[in-house]
Structure 1
Amino acid sequence: MSAQVGIVLVSHSGPVAESVAELARGLAAGGATAPVAAAGGTGAGGLGTSTELIAEAVRAVDGGAGVAVLVDLGSAVLTVKAMLAEDELPPGTRMVDAPFVEGAVAAVVTASAGGDLDAVEAAASEAYDYRKA
């Protein structure tokens, strides 16, 4: 089987990132899922973002097909943008503009089905159009 796109979920909260990763894996079930890593909170377990945790998560899921990074808000966005601008993340790493929960599910489902990085980004971004009423 060829490498799958990896997914990294960056949140200000470790438990939130882990829970969204668990939800996305569960909803994508039906076989092996694409690699997913949570990078939430600070290294000390507090609220915030950690460049070290983000870099570690990206390395953990990078199988050579690219990595889609989804972020929750504010400084998580700024942190990942800065890391990309400073080449602190491997080539093929891309921040995806998508809603955090719905986008994560769409990204994991698409990556698990063998979608490339462009397809994963498109699926996650399309989650903005999901309507609940």
Structure 2
Amino acid sequence: MSYVGIVLISHSPKVVEGIKDIIRQVIHDVPIELAGGTDENEIGTSIEKIQVAIDKAYSEKGVLLMYDLGSAKMNAEMAIEMSEKDNIKIVEAPLLEGSYVAAVESGMNKSLDEVVKALEKGF
């Protein structure tokens, strides 16, 4: 079975690691990849890390990008532009709560658009 993949983007590697730990307490099958911190694992974001995470999380159902702060969104948008894949979306929702809801919705075998709608409705 294929699920919408999720990429968690944060300025801190520890933040996305913690969020993934919380989600994995309940949701086990949904692909969740991390793009936290710079390439040197310092505070910031990395387009390259986001691209690698997209490639790993991607399925035929697509992938959803969740981020913490504005510059992370900008790097996510650039990563999407540089990607050769379709069906990638960014959602504006709280990183922890939104990622959790997205994982639950994806785990219910919903489409990328359905997951996005659930997040837009809930926040």
TM-score past 0.5 threshold: yes
Pairs aligned (count): 123
Check whether the contact 1:103–1:125 (CA below 8 A) recurs between aligned residues: no
- Which residue does 1:116 correspond to in 2? 111
- Measured in 2, the distance between the counterparts of 1:121 and 1:6 equals 12
Q: How does 1:92-103 map to 2 (within 5 A)?
A: 92-103=87-98
- Which residue does 2:78 correspond to in 1? 82
Q: For 1:53-100, what per-residue CA distance to the aligned partner results, in whole angstroms no more than 9, with x for missing partners?
A: 10111111112110000011121011112233x343621111111111
- Measured in 1, the distance between the counterparts of 2:118 and 2:33 equals 18
Percent identity, aligned pairs only?
34
Q: For 1:6-45, what per-residue CA distance to the aligned partner results, in whole angstroms no more than 9, with x for missing partners?
A: 00010000010111122122233xxx42111111001111
> Runs of 4+ in structure 1 displaced over 3 angstroms?
none
Tell me the TM-score normalised to structure 2 length: 0.92
What's the RMSD between the two structures over aligned residues? Answer: 1.4
- Measured in 2, the distance between the counterparts of 1:24 and 1:79 equals 24
Tell me the TM-score normalised to structure 1 length: 0.85
Do the aligned partners of residues 89 and 50 (structure 1) sit closer, same or farther apart at CA in structure 2, a change above 3 Å counting?
Answer: farther
